[in-house]
Amino acid sequence: MSIFRNLGWFFRRHWIRYCFCVLFLILVSLIELLPPWLVGRLVDDIQANNLLSVDIYATVGFIALCGVAIYILRNGWRLLLFGGSIELGRIMRARLFHHLTRMSPEFYQRHQTGDLMAHATNDIRALEMTVAEGVLTLVDSIVAGTAVIAAMIWICGWEITAVALVPFPVMAWLMSRYANLLHKRFRAAQEAFSELNNRVQEAVSGVRAVRAHHLTDAQKRKFAKESDKNVNANMQVARVDALFDPTISLCVGLATMSSLGFGAWRISERLMTVGELTTFTIYLGLLIWPMFAFGWLFNIVERGNASLKRLDKLLAIEPDVKDSAPENNTVLDGNIAFSSRGFTYPTARNRALEEFSFVIEKGSFVGLCGRTGSGKTSLFRLLLRQYDRESIDVRIGGVNHDTVSLDALRNRFALVSQEPFLFSASIAENIAFGRPEASREDVEHVAKLACIHDDILGFSEGYETLLGEKGVNLSGGQKQRLTIARALLLDADYLLLDDAFCSLDMQTEARILDNLLNRENPGTVILITHRLTNLYKADQVIVMDGGCLSEIGSHDKLMAERGWYARIFERQAMETTEAIKLSA
Amino acid sequence: MKTSEKRQHFIRLLRYGLPYRGRILVSFIMLLTGTTATLYAPVLVKEFIDGHVVPGNWEQSALVTLGVTFIAIYIIAGFMSWWEEMMFQRVALSVVHDVRRDVFHHLFLLPMAYFDKEPVGKLVSRITNDTETIRDLFVQALPSTVRGIVTLVGVLIAMSLLDLRLALFCMAILPVIFGGVFLYQRYSHPIFHRSRSVLSDINTRINESIQGMAAIQALGQQKRVNQQFGEVSQEYREVQSKLVLVNGLLLRPMVHLTSALALALVVGGFTGQALTGPVEIGLLYAFINYLDRMFEPLTHITMQMQVWQQSVVSAERVFQLMDEPVDNQYDHNATGSTSTEEVLGGKIEFREVGLSYDGKQQALDDISFTVESGQFVALVGHTGSGKSSIVNLLMRFYPYQKGAVLVDDKPLESFAEEPYRRQVGLIFQEPFVFQGTIAENIHLGHCDISEEAVREAAGHVQASGFIEKLPDGFQEVLGERGQSLSSGEKQLLSFARTLAQNPRILIMDEATANIDSETEQAIKSALFTLRQGRTTLAIAHRLTTIEDADLILVLEKGRIVQRGHHRELLKRNGLYRDMYQAQSKVVKMDSEEQLIVGA
């Protein structure tokens, strides 16, 4: 029952709602007791031959009235109870979402999208259900159960009540067992379904590969196997699910049986009337739900608890980087001085960066190159303070970058990352994502700089073309150019390009780069790239190797040093030498 | 969707049950037996009340008889109901399995063009989520509706047999119930659909935000997305509250209300009879008992209405996919092709081939060329020039309209699909990694490829290096799409895969993704190994990789505009030299000095 305690804050905030809700539930349980009692009295009147038509009208009218009252009260508690859980769902969703927006990339590497989605959907839904059905089953199993049993004892005597109730605890116990089993098997069935889903996903997204490698039959076989598993898992669910009804009717049947037998004896002994027995048998029917609820309760609570724990655990994760000075909005400007005394990713064993330092001058164009995994992207991450380490010291214009607020720091940078991500919105909205208030001219201006304007005009809806599942699919190069345009619109003084040209051909790359460097306020541009051919334009080139800074300086200087840079530059350029000679 | 269409889809769904009609019949008989037994129990009690309880004659033997019969009936009924449900569930799940299998198999018969226009997510959802909704129909809605109707009819018959006048009294309540159901349909459904669509909107938003969080944060838009999310959340809350209200007014509480009214009617009718003459108290018991049984299934049926509606919508979507016209070459039954002809030489010839994807624009126009067995031919051109179309044709992904494609001097169509693909190895620009181990990704389930051959192939293309560094080596399980591998490693893996198949013809689409220079060297030499002794047709993006090609075909707007050797083409004015120079222009301007030094 700890879930009710753990959600105490919520119940306290809505205590009036839940007080009324419980009150209504109690009233419903009490009113429900009246019609059977009235029916029993009428039966006794018939038996005693003193039935009056007034009594009939009064009773019939009263039963109908009870029905109407219960109808109103039921709607009342449903609105209160389900309204409460909808509110809880909304609060939890908003909390989770807000929390997600605060998490750094590290967090998203540790948690897969699918898992996070499961929290946002299944866990919150389970929580909503627990709060609604948990309260309902808790109150009903206690209040309604007690009320019915009390009425039985009071009207018909404790002896018959004791005899009739024997099967009910067994039923409650069985219900709880079944519920538990059902839940477990249901999860297995869901897993089987998700496996099936993966199988189909692979077959569809890899349809070319499947055909090219003539794997159609293999795919069909795998699918049939998964589908069979799915059938079996669902049969396991059905096997338990189908037990509920027969068990309930058997238990109630036994209770009816024993109370009838015992009642008949009591009546023959003149210890009970026929009317009382009639009332009693109807009350038996009213006991089914509270007993069922009692069995179900533990299961619901357990499920809700598990979900709440998962959510709480997720919400308790602190962002890796704390906004140490949220009020300090000093505008950082000037040279970037980066100095590392070693950096290791939280889950990694080896250092990603060793000890080195360098300075990037304000307004310069810097090329950053080196092998895959040499630490280039890590540099960007540390510049943007996606990780906090004592051993990393970044100063911009002499100011340590962790003394200002995260917003103030990150507003200074525009980043184009390796993998372009676009939102399901129109092209214009995507470009203006970072500055929604930007005018159409501004949007078109950056689109031209990023050499994507003509492509956009080629779509039937132009800038209003929708992207994503509902809209068109762009090529990798188009996506990349859109994200470049998006970053340019931010008008930040420091532009970070993380291999942002890798899907573009060399001509387009060169054109965009020229546009970037020759625009009105070029600011500082840092480009990570594997294609060195454009770096002759750079004011400074930094070469990384195994987490170390291995070469630094102007293009000419590095060429003269004859290191990795010169070697790779020449190899890439060599491929064209012959062309020049031949065509000359 | 029109009602007639709905009915058609529904009938088509039901037809899937035909192979199981025997079992359906048996389970239906069980249902009838079980229901009859359950409904007979109150009659027994009634007899007991009227015969023994009311007169007050306590007889042990009568009680024992009653007890034994009673328990026997319950056990029989319980067993029947369990068995019937098991049987029906088995049938229902088999039906869904069949639907799934059919739609999945159909997928492989569809022309490639279909996959170009439909997003993956949509197709997957058709095969899994929509069939899952159909499952809900078969395992939930259909049986509970049938059971509900059988119980309802059974109760009405039992009531009429016991006391017709009182039974008619009860039936007076039926119009109220149907009215409620009608109102529910009318008012609850639109809200229900609205709530589902808002929820899916919420989930899409969360999903997209999670995936694009880096972008959101880089652009500093956390506040804005939070606010937008809050708005959708609020909207969901409002719709949900409305749904609770409508469902409360028209669903369970409504059924309970009518049941209370029915009770009032029965009590009134019964005691009314008592005023004028003798009555049997047991009858009242029986009727009250029957009323309880009558209303429970009604609640169930009403609640299943949404499932009915959704499943018909889902069925339409599934059938739509199943009715998509197929590409006959994949349909072995249609072609009747049993040709086991194999590609032996590996000569490829295109004769005046024309291809159009949409019937309007020519993707390929009058393409003619010959690749002799063992030659290396490269395709060059800008995006959209038709390079990929030639590969697509040769892979038989799309049908062509004009001319002829010959392999080993025989028409392409004369080869059966399976043996043909066995001899033609395609290397993708972005290699596809299947779920499973590295070894499985190399032998691809073709059992004629031994473990030895897998290792050998990996060694030849220099893939062993990175594979052996993995914790489990060749048995390392690759995650979704091989996320743990770099793009260069994936390339090498796909080379090993192709080499292990040992095809006669090699078709490759060169990777454009940036691979660091070291890996690139490995890939280059692996490619050289791969080409040995095979006919190779390659799409080249970097012109430097094709200098040793036997023939280079330069394509522009679906036509071959130049052909020849690398050196020949460079000497001539034309597209090839333009492209070559463009690729090197950047370097040429500023770094000639170094180049000469380097050369």
Return the CATH number at B20: 1.20.1560.10
Q: For residue A541, is pLDDT > 90? A: yes
Q: What integer pLDDT is reported at residue A477 of this predicted model?
A: 81
Q: What is the pLDDT of residues A478-535, one digit of tens each?
A: 888 999 999 999 888 999 998 888 777 777 888 899 998 888 888 899 999 888 888 8
CB of A50 within 8 Å of a chain B CB? The answer is: no
Q: What is the DSSP letter of B544?
A: G
Which residues contact residue A328 at a Cβ distance below 8 angstroms, ignoring those fewer than 6 apart? A403, A404, A405, A408
Residue B449: which CATH number?
3.40.50.300
Instruction: Considering only CA atoms, give the Rg of chain B.
Output: 36
Residue B288 lies in a domain: yes
Residue B205 lies in a domain: no
Closest by Cβ to A100, choosing from B210, B234, B422: B210
Residue B207 lies in a domain: no
Q: How far is CA A271 from the centre of its chain?
A: 63
Interface test with A, best of B263, B266, B295, B478 (most A CBs within 10 A): B263
With cut-offs at 50, 70 and 90, classify the pLDDT of residue A104. Answer: confident
B318 and B359 housed in the same domain: no
B146 with A494: CB under 8 angstroms? no
B299 and B377 housed in the same domain: no
Closest by Cβ to B591, choosing from A243, A278, A536: A536
B443 and B551 housed in the same domain: yes
Q: What integer pLDDT is reported at residue B597 of this predicted model?
A: 36
B87 with A224: CB under 8 angstroms? no
A552 with A540: CB under 8 angstroms? yes
CB of A499 within 8 Å of a chain B CB? The answer is: yes
Q: Per the CB < 8 Å rule, is A568 touching B128?
A: no
Interface test with A, best of B333, B581, B586 (most A CBs within 10 A): B586
With cut-offs at 50, 70 and 90, classify the pLDDT of residue A476. Answer: confident
CB of A121 within 8 Å of a chain B CB? The answer is: yes
**Domain that includes residue B406, residue range:** 348-598
For residues A154-162, give the mean pLDDT.
Answer: 91
For residues B90-105, give the mean pLDDT.
Answer: 92
Chain position carrying tokens 């009320």: A147
Q: Per the CB < 8 Å rule, is A97 touching B56?
A: no
State ipTM. Answer: 0.83
Give the tokens for residue A499. 């291999």
B43 and B116 housed in the same domain: yes
A516 with A525: CB under 8 angstroms? yes
How crowded is the C-beta side of B227, counted as CA atoms within 13 Å? 4
Mean pLDDT of chain B: 83
Q: Dihedral sign, CA of A189, A194, A197, A198?
A: negative
Closest by Cβ to B53, choosing from A219, A267, A559: A267
Chain B residues with beta carbon closer than 8 angstroms to that of A507: 582-583, 585
B368 and B453 housed in the same domain: yes
Q: What integer pLDDT is reported at residue B598 of this predicted model?
A: 36
Q: For residue B555, is pLDDT > 50? A: yes
Closest by Cβ to A576, choosing from B244, B513, B587: B587
The chain A residue lying nearest B590, using CA atoms, is A536
CA distance B265 to A64: 9
CB of A418 within 8 Å of a chain B CB? The answer is: no
Closest by Cβ to B583, choosing from A90, A434, A576: A576
Q: What integer pLDDT is reported at residue B586 of this predicted model?
A: 43
B296 and B414 housed in the same domain: no
Cβ–Cβ pairs < 8 A, chains A and B: 423
With cut-offs at 50, 70 and 90, classify the pLDDT of residue A84. Answer: very high
Strands in A361-459 per DSSP E = 365-370, 392-396, 399-400, 413-416
B518 and B548 housed in the same domain: yes
For residues B554-577, give the mean pLDDT.
Answer: 86
Residue B38: closest CA among B67, B81, B89, B68: B81
What string of DSSP letters covers A434-500?
Answer: G-TT--HHHHHHHHHHTT-HHHHHHSTTGGG-BBSTTSBPPPHHHHHHHHHHHHHHT--SEEEEEST
Which residues contact residue B467 at a Cβ distance below 8 angstroms, ignoring those fewer than 6 apart? B438, B458, B473, B474, B476
Query: Strand B424-427 to strand B505-509: parallel, antiparallel, or no bridges (unpaired)?
Result: parallel
3-state DSSP call for residue B457? Answer: helix
For residues B391-417, give the mean pLDDT.
Answer: 85
Q: What integer pLDDT is reported at residue A486 of this predicted model?
A: 93
CA distance A292 to A247: 11
Alpha helices in B277-370 (DSSP H): 281-322, 332-335
Residue B210 lies in a domain: no
Chain position carrying tokens 């942002």: A500
In angstroms, the separation between the Cα of residue A340 and the nearest Cα of chain B is 23
Q: For residue B566, is pLDDT > 90? A: no
Closest by Cβ to B264, choosing from A60, A235, A575: A60
B496 and B405 housed in the same domain: yes
For residues A72-82, give the mean pLDDT.
Answer: 94
Residue B361 lies in a domain: yes
Q: For residue A174, is pLDDT > 70? A: yes
Residue A319: closest CA among A92, A91, A119, A108: A108
Chain position carrying tokens 């002994």: A269
Q: What integer pLDDT is reported at residue A569 of this predicted model?
A: 85
Closest by Cβ to A204, choosing from B107, B581, B594: B107
Q: For residue B589, is pLDDT > 70? A: no
Furthest-apart CA atoms within chain B: distance in Å: 124
Residue B312 lies in a domain: yes
> How far lies A562's CA from each of A541, A551, A559, B597, in Å?
14, 10, 5, 11
Q: What integer pLDDT is reported at residue A507 of this predicted model?
A: 77
Q: For residue A577, is pLDDT > 60? A: no
The chain B residue lying nearest A420, using CA atoms, is B215
Burial class (CB in 10 A: 0-12, 13-18, 19+), A245: middle
Residue B216 lies in a domain: no
Final residue before a domain boundary, out of B272, B291, B326: B326
Q: For residue A552, is pLDDT > 80? A: yes
Q: For residue B338, is pLDDT > 70? A: no
| Domains held by chain B: number | 2
B25 and B137 housed in the same domain: yes
For residues A401-422, give the mean pLDDT.
Answer: 86
Q: For residue B488, is pLDDT > 80? A: no
Q: What integer pLDDT is reported at residue A470 of this predicted model?
A: 54
Q: Dihedral sign, CA of B556, B562, B566, B569?
A: negative
Instruction: Considering only CA atoms, give the Rg of chain A.
Output: 36
CB of A570 within 8 Å of a chain B CB? The answer is: yes
Interface test with B, best of A201, A513, A559 (most B CBs within 10 A): A201
Q: For residue A36, is pLDDT > 90? A: yes
Neighbours of B483 (CB within 10 A): 9
Residue A530: closest CA among A572, A561, A479, A493: A572
> How far lies B263's CA from each of A61, A70, B268, in Å?
11, 14, 8
Q: Per the CB < 8 Å rule, is A506 touching B583?
A: yes
Q: For residue A582, is pLDDT > 60? A: no
Q: What integer pLDDT is reported at residue A537 of this predicted model?
A: 87
B288 and B360 housed in the same domain: no
Query: HEC states along A128-148?
Result: HHHHHHHHHHHHHHHHHHHHH
The chain B residue lying nearest A71, using CA atoms, is B253
B111 and B31 housed in the same domain: yes
Residue B272 lies in a domain: yes
Furthest-apart CA atoms within chain A: distance in Å: 126
For residues A88-94, give the mean pLDDT.
Answer: 92
A402 with A338: CB under 8 angstroms? no
B547 and B405 housed in the same domain: yes
With cut-offs at 50, 70 and 90, classify the pLDDT of residue A473. Answer: low
In angstroms, the separation between the Cα of residue A197 and the nearest Cα of chain B is 6
